[in-house]
Structure 1
Amino acid sequence: MIRFRHLSVALLGALAIAPAAFAQDSNFDSTNDGKRFAVVGGFAVSEPTSDPTIAGASTQFDGGTAATLSASWYFHENFAVEAWGAADKFDHRVRDANNYKIGSVESQPYALSAQYHFGNSEQIVRPFLGLGYYESNFDNETPEPTGPLAGQRIGVETAKGAMATAGLDVTLSPSWFARADLRYLHGDSDVKVSGDKVGNAKLNPVVVGLGLGVRF
């Protein structure tokens, strides 16, 4: 949770300096025109915003961290199509209402979205918004040996749904830029115990990330 707050503060800080950066746009000499592709590698924190009920009991999924990777095609100066995903898996501890750990699960989301980038390629700071579709695979569902689900086979189905994105690119050179973004993944998946559905994991996570990108 602490790292989630730190990344959130970093994103808000970047947004706060945007007006000053825009004021310097006229003095910036950019050669970004004609560069239609971008790749971004980064680090993100995924924090569920909803607590699911499993087998009639309230549970809490802790947030996790993972490396991320995205590739974008700018078919217009302001419009891009982005493929984004976790390069590693987010590890979530699952707790009950008494804060007792009852298991763990790993998630790995990936998404395809369309984005609108404000301004033009000569600006130092360019905010963007996006909307798309995501899926998140769950695996390594492991109950605690002494928990209420000990000895049972747990399964969490793939989550699917809409993804909304808000972010900010800060130009470092004609080819390199820094990125801060926030993604909201809206969707749910069935939870099964020994093959029987016992609940619905509607996590709706917020994923906050920082990264370094290159355009070419």
Structure 2
Amino acid sequence: MRNTYRALAIAAALAATPMAFAQDSTTTSNDATPKRFSVVGGYAHMVPKSNPGTIAGQSADLDGNGAATLSGTWHVDDHWGVELWGTPDKFKTDVDLANGGRGAYKQQPIAVSGQYHFGQASQPIRPFVGLGYYESNIDGERFDATAAGGNHVGLDTPKGAIATVGADFNITDRVFARADARYLKGDAEANVAGVPAGEVDLDPWIVGVGVGARF
């Protein structure tokens, strides 16, 4: 969890500028046409769970990294929406094992969520929450010989619930900035040379910022 506070500080700092701009802007649009679709491109940092479990029979410590993110939302009305969210890139996770073994793996999550946006579409700041389902493809597992005697260490696909909380900061009626945090609840079976060798409760937080457009 040593990157948690750093990730939250980055998200807060990047969110502050568009929020201030949105509140001080004197430019408004006369376009009252409802916007039913939105896309957001951004960057997020993954913070895995502390003490997640064992890999290759050893207690594991996980350290996440950042990756680009992309989402698209169909807005049923001004409050409800359905979001498809994922990463065009992959999150890398570094692994330290209790016996001194080290390794890493990559994962690429994708999720579908229902969202509820509070307030009115025209207000400067709109908080939102979401709940849905995700799966995260894991590949690129690389561990040194200390981890499992040179045998291949693999992790199965984690899947489960995803919860989201965030806020949009309106710059114009079409362009906005976003800050959000997502919690992914899911376990992954670890195996050594294809034989089960522990379970890892990944359960990461993903803290991100981005810029979006409505259509």
Give the TM-score band, short-chain normalised. Answer: 0.7 to 0.9
CA pair 2-56 structure 1, distance change in 2 beyond 3 A: closer
Residues of 2 paired with 1:38 and 1:101: CA distance?
44
Q: How does 1:104-183 map onto structure 2 within 5 Å?
A: 104-144=104-144, 146-183=145-182
Task: Work out whether residues 112 and 133 of structure 2, in 8 Å CA contact, stay in contact via their aligned partners in 1.
Answer: yes
CA pair 2-179 structure 1, distance change in 2 beyond 3 A: farther
Residues of 2 paired with 1:158 and 1:16: CA distance?
36
CA pair 13-104 structure 1, distance change in 2 beyond 3 A: closer
What residue in structure 1 maps to residue 78 of structure 2?
Answer: 77
Q: How does 1:2-17 map onto structure 2 within 5 Å?
A: 4-12=4-12
Letter in 1 for 2:61: Q
Q: CA shift at 1:71, angstroms?
A: 0.3
What residue in structure 2 maps to residue 95 of structure 1?
Answer: 96
Q: Which moved more, 1:36-45 or 1:53-62?
A: 53-62
Q: Secondary structure at the match of 1:152?
A: coil
Deviations 1:86-143 (A, max 9, x none): 1111111110136x45211111111000000001111010000000000011001111
CA pair 33-181 structure 1, distance change in 2 beyond 3 A: farther
Task: Work out whether residues 81 and 113 of structure 1, in 8 Å CA contact, stay in contact via their aligned partners in 2.
Answer: yes
Residues of 1 paired with 2:161 and 2:36: CA distance?
25
Task: Work out whether residues 164 and 183 of structure 1, in 8 Å CA contact, stay in contact via their aligned partners in 2.
Answer: yes
Letter in 2 for 1:74: H
Q: Secondary structure at the match of 1:147?
A: helix
Q: How many residue pairs get matched?
A: 213
Unaligned runs of 5+ in 1: none
Unaligned runs of 5+ in 2: none
CA pair 107-173 structure 1, distance change in 2 beyond 3 A: same
Aligned CA RMSD, in angstroms, stands at: 2.7
Q: CA shift at 1:29, angstroms?
A: 3.8
What residue in structure 2 maps to residue 43 of structure 1?
Answer: 43
Q: CA shift at 1:172, angstroms?
A: 1.1
Residues of 2 paired with 1:104 and 1:59: CA distance?
11
Q: How does 1:175-214 map onto structure 2 within 5 Å?
A: 175-214=174-213
Q: CA shift at 1:178, angstroms?
A: 0.3
Residues of 1 paired with 2:195 and 2:97: CA distance?
20
Q: CA shift at 1:173, angstroms?
A: 1.4
CA pair 175-2 structure 1, distance change in 2 beyond 3 A: farther
Structure 1 segments (4+ residues) deviating >2 Å: 1-7, 9-17, 19-25, 27-33
Q: CA shift at 1:195, angstroms?
A: 0.8
Q: Secondary structure at the match of 2:40?
A: strand
What residue in structure 2 maps to residue 63 of structure 1?
Answer: 64
Compute the TM-score of the two structures, normalised by the length of structure 2.
Answer: 0.88
Letter in 2 for 1:128: F
Task: Work out whether residues 92 and 107 of structure 2, in 8 Å CA contact, stay in contact via their aligned partners in 1.
Answer: yes
Letter in 2 for 1:167: G
